[in-house]
Amino acid sequence: MEAVVVEKNKTVQDYLQLPEGAPYQLLNGKLIMSPAPNRNHQRLSGIIYRLLANWCIEKQVGEVYFAPFDV
């Protein structure tokens, strides 16, 4: 006879034990790996970055960085 393994639901405490920056979300008691950004997301974030960076350079008001970047 084979043993049945029942996995208990994960808690916020379990989530907080993950290493900082671990690509997981806690959804309905399960740790789900976050998907990589899709092509549309990357294209749009690049456009937004370019617009903001050009504006900051033109106005000489600061810098713009891509994520991930701790501030």
Q: What is the domain partition of the chain in residue ranges?
A: 1-35, 36-71
What does pLDDT average to in each consecutive run of 10 residues of the chain (71 residues)?
75 93 90 91 95 97 83 66
Number of helical (H) and strand (E) elements in the chain, helices listed first = 2, 2
Q: What is the pLDDT of residue 5?
A: 60
Q: What is the pLDDT of residue 8?
A: 87
Query: Exposed, middle or buried by CB within 10 Å (0-12, 13-18, 19+), for 69?
Result: exposed
Q: What is the pLDDT of residue 21?
A: 84
- Of 64, 62, 43, 69, give the one whose Cα is nearest residue 53: 64
What does the alpha-carbon distance between residue 54 and residue 62 come to, in Å, rounded to a whole number? 10
Q: What is the pLDDT of residue 68?
A: 72
* Phi, psi dihedral angles at 6 (to 5 degrees): -110, 120
